[in-house]
Amino acid sequence: MNVRASLVILLLAAVVAGAGVVLVGSGDFTMTPGEVVTTLFGHGTFQQEFIVMDLRLPRVLVGLLVGAALGAGGAVFQTVSRNPLGSPDVLGFGQGATVGALTVIVLFQGGATAVAGGAVAGGLLTGVAVYLLAWKRGVHGFRLVLVGIGAAAVLTAVTQYLITKADLVDATRAVVWMTGSLDGRDWAQVWPLLVVCGVLLPLVFAHGPALRVMEMGDDAAYALGVRVERTRLVLMGAAVLLVAVATAAAGPIAFVSLSAPQLARRLTRSTGPNLVAATFMGAALLLVADWVALDAFGDRQLPVGVVTGVLGGCYLLWLLVSERKAGRI
């Protein structure tokens, strides 16, 4: 048992809980943390219970689950590719989900449920295509990253084409969705996310020891009894589905899946994929970013995707400089 990693996970869990309580109490009708906790336990006024249970708690839960899914998915892909830049943002899976959603918006004028389904389908199809194109007697990290970057470029071009072909109303709706936001999220988004995360996150965690062995190389993992390609396929499939469902629920939230695993590793100072720590880090990052988007700019509330994009872009520049100084790129 890694004591430092366990303490970091507990600290991140406390940050997630604290940020969630603060977010639930934020807004035009402010509530103290004590009032929020009292209301969550069923002892608030009718007005407080309506605001907390019907309006604000679903948004916070969607943010928590989306952040957790992105953090876990990013940790899987960075470990499989053995590259700190090998996140779903870079490998094209988020772009695939975006193309699926925009196809439904622009070509079929679908509703919210159809858009979410299109995003999931687009992410899964992109995952299958990248896996097959990267396959050559197995899927290896360098080839996976190269194929993913190419797929991301193509899908970005498709996204721009769809927007140019849309009328003004659909183009506006598409751009708003592409920004990534938790506004207006309700229990209809919570339950599918909860089911998917409840099934896939334990599956990913259960394969953590095998994933850690695979970091030593496929040959060593085979020698130690790990079924490498089967494990890699299961983990990549679970990670793609987590990212696709998260994107369907909140839009393409930038850079959480890229930065959460690296920040978790730096805090725990532990080798291996740090799956649990990355999951909690993703949830903490998204909730804190949502709080910043709501309260840091006065009356002008920003979509959470704008905040994560700015912070994540700065982090990416720092990561590239660090990797260059270390001689790894």
Q: pLDDT of 190-223, one tens digit each? A: 888 999 999 999 999 998 888 888 777 767 777 8
For the chain, the first-to-last Cα distance in angstroms comes to 33
Q: What's residue 284's pLDDT? A: 92
Residue 329: per-residue pLDDT: 59
Taking 90 as the threshold, does the pLDDT of residue 102 lie above it?
no
Segment 156-164 shows an average pLDDT of 87
- The predicted model gives 146-152 an average pLDDT of 85
Q: Quote the pLDDT of residue 200.
A: 93
Q: Is the pLDDT reported for residue 13 higher than 90?
A: yes
pLDDT at 231 over 90: no
Taking all residues of the chain, what is their mean pLDDT, rounded to a whole number?
Answer: 84
pLDDT at 64: 92
Distance of alpha carbon 324 from alpha carbon 322, whole angstroms:
5
| pLDDT for position 327 | 67
CB 216 within 8 A of CB 178: no
pTM (2 d.p.): 0.88
Q: Closest Cα to residue 224, out of 214, 234, 232? A: 214
Mean pLDDT of 41-56: 83
Angle at 244 between CA 72 and CA 251, to 5 degrees: 100
